[in-house]
């Protein structure tokens, strides 16, 4: 199909099967912000988004370039005390270029493949405006804002050589080299979006070049785009070049307040608008609502650091770091990181509700992936090696969640289906344990424990199914605290 540069045409793009089947991808936040590698760790991004704390307490190290310019913020104080008040963010660029010489992209992709990831999405330009590929159009305000290595080009080649799909992240709405002042609060996240034709042309040229040079399987934009961006033309170009590509839901046009901005961004208008914005974030129609109408075309939705409570009719992708943020943060304690069972639970819960999980890796400046992140990835990969049949290529069942009685204690169960079979993944079940899976409309018969092919006998007990787990549960399943069973024929799904 040839797509036309109209909203109607690009909205006819079907969700590619590969993306729906993949379930698990790797996000990579690596850049100049990996040199200072610092953010406060006192609050979660949910606390910030819901207005429970000041925006400058966000635990995202990749926002360093902004918060270091806001007097009184934790990052401003850290920067002053660590580097001196006069040191610029630009001075970190040569340090990043020097450190990144040690980076071996094939080492990353080998790890991601071993982790069971099916696609990889690195940052090509974050909010600091530094370009991580050898772009033909450099920053007119900051010509030095470009990495010495062609990071995106090298990683694209290594990822595809390892048999995974390759996408790119790009920050369309935020580029602090074009912003008139630093972002201080939620309202500034609207008013600091550059609206000049120069910036619209700049990001459009970048999107076109990323498409032409890398043919990314995922074109993942962040925050939004300026109000005058021609999105139907961009999407038509992309789909015609990459018919099985996908775009996220973060291309929404942000136009600011036009000539009223000087008035509306003053108190008391500022206080009123901040309350309205905070309320909209979590309310009906906000980013946490899977039924919200998106003002531009999208192939999937992107809740951040959260999951939907039930099966969503639209495809979605949860994204988060293993800790509180995305970029490497040297200040973050290891107990902030999700445990292996928590990561596997998140993956299974997401997939059961029609989602994918895009799990972030935040490397150090020299490309080293911290041991705790590496260990978590290997643990997820070992679990998927044993239980991937219940994840890859599956679709939601008639319901996502269930429970099982495990000797008087309830444990959580998640369901998926594939090729006529129903799968149940149990969290916290133990080897040799007798289980009663509640409210399962499946017949008596053989049940298979994934990872070893062990056949189990299941018996109907009214609406429930009784079975006993074997004593030889696969080690990877024990380590992750999750076992998957193939139960038999699946009923119809959504």
Q: How far is 437 from 463, CA to CA, in rounded Å?
A: 9
Task: Render 438-461 in DSSP notation, one character per residue.
Answer: -S----SEEEEETTTTEEEEEEEE
Split at pLDDT 50, 70, 90, the class of 270 is low
- 342-379 in b/e form (b: 16+ CB < 10 A) is ebbbbbbbbbbbbbbbbbbbbbbbebbbbeebeebbbb
Round the CA-based radius of gyration of the chain to a whole number and report it: 23
Convert the pLDDT of each residue in 418-470 to its tens digit.
998 999 999 999 899 999 999 987 767 789 999 987 789 889 888 999 999 99
- Cβ 399 vs Cβ 415: under 8 Å: yes
Q: What is the mean pLDDT of residues 159-175?
A: 98
Backbone angles phi, psi at 226, to 5 degrees: -60, 155
pLDDT band at residue 189 using 50, 70 and 90 as cut-offs: confident
Lowest mean pLDDT among 131-140, 189-198, 339-348: 189-198
User: Domain residues of the chain, as ranges?
Assistant: 7-390, 401-489
Answer whether residue 384 shows pLDDT above 50: yes
HSE, side-chain direction, 13 A CA sphere, residue 441: 6
Q: What is the pLDDT of residue 445?
A: 73
Q: Mean per-residue pLDDT for 310-331?
A: 97
pTM recorded for the entire structure: 0.94
Question: What integer is the mean pLDDT of 1-16?
Answer: 96
Rounded CA separation 305/321 (Å): 8
Cβ-based neighbours of 375, under 8 Å, separated by 6 or more: none
CA–CA distance, 455 with 452 (Å, rounded to integer): 9
Tell me the pLDDT band of 186, cut-offs 50, 70 and 90.
confident
Query: What pLDDT was estimated at residue 492?
Result: 46
Fold assignment, 401-489: Immunoglobulin-like (2.60.40)
Domain 7-390 grouped into CATH 3.90.550.10: no
The mean per-residue pLDDT over the stretch 212-227 comes to: 97
High-pLDDT (> 70) share of the chain, %: 91
Q: Which two tokens stand for residue 214?
A: 């890398």
pLDDT at 315 over 80: yes
Q: Which two tokens stand for residue 13?
A: 């793009």
Contact (Cβ atoms closer than 8 angstroms) between residue 152 and residue 133: yes
Residue 486 reports pLDDT greater than 70: yes
What pLDDT shows up at residue 260? 60
* Euclidean distance between CA atoms 45 and 41, whole angstroms: 10
CA distances from 388 to 201, 385, 401, 454, 475 (A): 44, 6, 18, 16, 15
From the list 120, 24, 3, 13, the residue with the least C-alpha distance to 394 is 24
Predicted local distance difference test score (pLDDT) of residue 403: 97
Buried b (16+ CB within 10 A) or exposed e, 64-95: bbbbbbbeebbbbebbeeeeeeeeebeebbee
Q: Which residue in 102, 127, 142, 114 sits closest to 32, CA to CA?
A: 127
Place of tokens 């993949």: 22
What tokens were used for 413?
């169960």
User: Is residue 10 a contact partner of residue 239, using CB atoms and an 8 Å limit?
Assistant: yes
Confidence of residue 292 (pLDDT cuts 50, 70, 90): low
């Amino acid at each position: 199909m040839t797509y036309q540069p109209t909203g109607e045409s690009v909205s006819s793009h079907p969700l590619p099967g590969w993306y729906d089947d993949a379930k698990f991808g790797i996000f990579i936040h690596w850049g100049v912000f990996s040199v200072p590698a610092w953010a406060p760790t006192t609050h979660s991004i949910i606390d910030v988004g819901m207005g429970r704390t000041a925006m400058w307490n966000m635990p995202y190290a990749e926002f360093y370039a902004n918060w270091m310019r806001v007097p009184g913020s934790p990052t401003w104080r850290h920067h002053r005390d660590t580097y001196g008040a006069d040191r610029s963010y630009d001075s970190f660029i040569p340090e990043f270029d020097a450190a990144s010489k040690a980076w071996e992209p094939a080492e990353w992709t080998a790890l991601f493949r071993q982790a069971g990831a099916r696609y990889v999405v690195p940052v090509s330009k974050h909010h600091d405006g530094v370009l991580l590929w050898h772009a033909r159009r450099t920053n007119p305000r900051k010509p030095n804002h470009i990495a010495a290595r062609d990071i995106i080009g090298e990683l694209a080649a290594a990822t595809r050589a390892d048999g995974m799909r390759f996408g790119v992240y790009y920050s369309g709405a935020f580029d602090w080299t074009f912003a008139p002042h630093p972002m201080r609060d939620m309202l500034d996240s609207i008013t600091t979006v550059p609206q000049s034709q120069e910036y619209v042309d700049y990001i459009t040229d970048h999107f076109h070049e990323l498409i032409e040079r890398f043919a990314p399987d995922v074109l993942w934009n962040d925050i939004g785009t300026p109000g005058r961006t021609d999105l139907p033309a961009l999407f038509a170009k992309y789909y015609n070049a990459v018919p099985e590509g996908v775009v996220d839901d973060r291309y929404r046009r942000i136009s600011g307040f036009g000539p009223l901005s000087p008035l509306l961004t003053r108190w008391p208008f500022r206080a009123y608008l901040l309350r309205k914005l905070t309320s909209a974030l979590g309310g009906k129609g906000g980013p946490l609502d899977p039924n919200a109408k998106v003002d531009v075309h999208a192939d999937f939705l992107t809740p951040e650091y959260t999951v939907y409570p039930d099966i969503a009719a639209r495809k979605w992708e949860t994204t988060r770091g293993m800790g509180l943020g995305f970029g490497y943060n040297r200040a973050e304690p290891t107990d902030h990181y999700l445990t292996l069972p928590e990561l596997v639970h998140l993956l299974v819960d997401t997939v059961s509700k029609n989602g994918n999980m895009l799990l972030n890796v935040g490397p150090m400046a020299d490309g080293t992936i911290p041991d705790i992140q590496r260990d978590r990835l290997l643990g997820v990969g070992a679990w998927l090696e044993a239980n991937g049949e219940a994840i890859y290529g599956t679709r939601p069942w008639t319901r996502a969640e269930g429970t099982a009685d495990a000797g008087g204690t309830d444990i959580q169960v998640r369901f998926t289906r594939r090729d006529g079979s129903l799968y149940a993944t149990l969290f916290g079940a133990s080897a040799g344990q007798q289980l009663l899976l509640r409210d399962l409309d499946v017949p008596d018969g053989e049940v298979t424990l994934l990872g070893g092919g062990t056949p189990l006998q299941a018996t109907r007990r009214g609406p429930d199914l009784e079975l006993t787990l074997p004593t030889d549960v696969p080690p990877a399943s024990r380590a992750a605290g999750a076992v998957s069973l193939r139960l038999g024929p699946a009923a119809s799904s959504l």
